[in-house]
Amino acid sequence: MTQDLQAAFDTVVRRNPGESEFHQAVYEVLESLGPVVERHPEYVDASIIPRLCEPNRQIIFKVNWEDDNCRIHTNRGFRVQFNSSLGPYKGGLRFHPSVYLGIIKFLGFEQIFKNALTGMPIGGGKGGSDFDPKGKSDNEIMRFCQSFMTELSQHIGADTDVPAGDIGVGGREIGYLFGQYKKLTGRYESGVITGKGILFGGSRARTEATGYGTVFFAEEMMKLNGQGFDGKKVVVSGSGNVALYAVEKANQLGATVVAVSDSSGYVVDEDGIDFELLQDVKEKRRARISAYADERPNAHVVTGGSIWDVPCDIALPCATQNELDENAAKTLIQNGCKLVAEGANMPCTPQATRALRSAGVLFAPGKAANAGGVATSALEMQQNASRDSWSFEHTEERLQQIMVGIHERCAETADEYGHPGDYVLGANIAGFTRVADAMLALGVI
Ligand code: NDP
Ligand code: 2IT
């Protein structure tokens, strides 16, 4: 790392003590930027990197809500508006007990570059709460969402900041959040949030977009070697929104998904994961992964181990940050895994990423491979602005074109900087230069 980059990183660590995930996300980007700042001293002269590492605004608020027994609970809400050079702040909301400022900042920072890579007019932001949706009734979820939005509504808008879903926030939560925004403002401002239901301004294929997009991206990587998903064995971690639709698309392309997971364990099904059953267990029944195994003759549940022990050709980590460590990476390599594409945000530890890349495993970083979700959110914003509603086929086609475009941008940038096949470098530099050029053009603001 150059002196300027190291100094910027040291400032991040000093200014944001204890926020290890944020430090990790910043380090991973800055590590790639040496060649670009060498070629473009104007970025250093304008202090672009230190300016990028400091969020424009960080909002922390109290969320009081009442459970079904009339007990009052207090959670913490966050919205980090990181960078709006390319468009309104855009990024999801995460409801999970592990949420704290450092998680939201890491996600917001990643989102800047991911959104830039899509080529669409969206800035980077992220929000959420340490609220735990597990075991809560529908009414409790609704009251929490209403209370959360009562504060958040003061900071968002279709041209200001546009939230969406992430872990623990899906269609149900987005509906309650939008309903409360509408009530508070008295306006039907569809473009204020994405991931909405089709009846009230949602986009077809948004639910599927992140998982499908990850598979489209991986397919593009394999095409360069004349390969594809057909006939491959795939392991997908998680069984939430991203994982589920990665499974569906991998199945459609002729792969066999042999394992999926949730936080209680993983299930191995050598017959191939039955997408419809998994969708029923997870989306409709909101049950644990063991409920899937109960209904499949040759499936079994493993608790306490690592899903990455299951041999596969392709690994798609789609659950959460740092879920795939160096040991897991070594096991994947030993078992002959040829490609890892991050459906989740930062699921591979830096040591795992290094091990995979140095063993020659094709590696797609999340900010490229999972950008299909936010890109389709931007398509939802387009539909809202024109009061239009596109067909599933048209929207999926647009999504696929966008993923092909992101893949091209990453691959070409890696070539241009003398590191062919290095998607980490390609994604970081391609995303960074778009944001940096916009920041230069907009002046010191
Ligand atoms: P969901 O809440 O729908 O699903 C999350 C899945 O991951 C669940 O199976 C969950 O298991 C598992 N999981 C979550 N946290 C942990 C944990 N600490 N340990 C083990 N398992 C865990 O979320 P999404 O599918 O939307 O998000 C998954 C990942 O994809 C996240 O990293 C998110 O940031 C990223 N992402 C999401 C996008 C989207 O459009 N939704 C877009 C781009 C990236 P359990 O239910 O047991 O908790
Ligand atoms: O991490 C992500 O890109 C998301 N959770 C989706 C964000 C969005 O605005 O659709």
- CA 90 to ligand 1 centroid distance, Å: 18
Residue 329 CA, ligand 1 centroid: distance in Å: 20
Q: Which ligand is nearest to the CA of 342?
A: 1
Point out the domain boundary residue: 369, 388, 411.
369
Sequential pLDDT tens for the chain (445 residues): 899 999 999 999 999 999 999 999 999 999 999 999 999 999 999 999 999 999 999 999 999 999 999 999 999 999 999 999 999 999 999 999 999 999 999 999 999 999 999 999 999 999 999 999 999 999 999 999 999 999 999 999 999 999 999 999 999 999 999 999 999 999 999 999 999 999 999 999 999 999 999 999 999 999 999 999 999 999 999 999 999 999 999 999 999 999 999 999 999 999 999 999 999 999 999 999 999 999 999 999 999 999 999 999 999 999 999 999 999 999 999 999 999 999 999 999 999 999 999 999 999 999 999 999 999 999 999 999 999 999 999 999 999 999 999 999 999 999 999 999 999 999 999 999 999 999 999 999 9
Torsion of CA 18, 20, 25, 30, to 10 degrees: 70
Q: Which has the closest alpha carbon to 105: 72, 123, 127? A: 127
108 lines ligand 2 (CB under 6 A): no
Q: Supply the residue whose CA is at minimum distance from atom 7 of ligand 1.
A: 319
172 and 63, same structural domain? Answer: yes
In this structure, are 215 and 169 located in the same domain? no
On whether both 226 and 300 belong to a single domain, the answer is yes
For residues 180 and 146, is the Cβ–Cβ distance under 8 A?
Answer: yes
Both 219 and 181 in a single domain?
no
Residues contacting 277, CB < 8 A, separation 6+:
292, 295, 296
In a shared domain, residues 172 and 221? no
Q: Cα(441)–Cα(435) distance, rounded to whole angstroms?
A: 10
Are 215 and 331 within one domain? yes
What residue's CA is closest to ligand 2, atom 10?
374
User: Considering the domain boundaries, does residue 440 fall inside one?
Assistant: no
Q: Is residue 243 part of a domain?
A: yes
Last residue of a domain, one of 369, 384, 399: 369
Q: Assess contact for 36 and 417: CB atoms under 8 A.
A: yes
* Statement to judge: residues 93 and 177 lie in one domain: yes
* pLDDT of amino acid 4: 94
The last residue of one of the domains, among 351, 369, 387, is 369
Query: Tell me, what CATH number does 173's domain have?
Result: 3.40.50.10860
Among residues 105, 114, 126, 338, which one is catalytic? 126
Determine the atom of ligand 2 nearest the C-alpha atom of 94. 5
221 and 120 within one domain: no
Atom index in ligand 1 nearest the CA of residue 261 equals 9
Question: Nearest residue CA, atom 31 of ligand 1?
Answer: 344
- Please tell me the total count of domains within the chain: 2
What pLDDT is stored for residue 186 in this prediction?
98
Please indicate whether residue 374, judged by its CB atom, sits closer than 6 Å to ligand 2: yes
With a 6 Å cutoff on the Cβ, whether 203 touches ligand 2 is: no
CATH number, domain with residue 320: 3.40.50.720
Q: Is 105 helix (H, G, I), strand (E, B) or coil?
A: helix
The answer to whether residue 90 is catalytic is no
Q: State the Cα–Cα distance between residues 389 and 394, nearest whole angstrom.
A: 10
361 close to ligand 1 (CB < 6 Angstrom): no
79 and 175 inside one domain: yes
Q: Which atom of ligand 2 is nearest to the CA of 165?
A: 5
Same domain membership, residue 338 and residue 249: yes
Which of 109, 207, 374 most suits a substitution to test ligand 2, by most atoms within 8 Å of the C-beta?
A: 374
* SS3 category, 52: helix
Residues 211 and 360 in one domain: yes
Kindly state whether residues 341 and 295 are assigned to the same domain: yes
Q: Is the CB of 345 under 6 A from ligand 2?
A: yes
Asked if residue 316 belongs to a domain, the reply is yes
Range of the structural domain that residue 162 is part of: 56-189
Task: Please check whether residue 185 is in contact with residue 113, taking contact to mean a CB–CB distance below 8 angstroms.
Answer: no
Q: Is the pTM of this model over 0.75?
A: yes
Pocket test for ligand 1, best of 262, 322, 367 (most atoms within 8 A of CB): 262
- Kindly state if the Cβ of 214 falls inside 6 Å of ligand 1: no
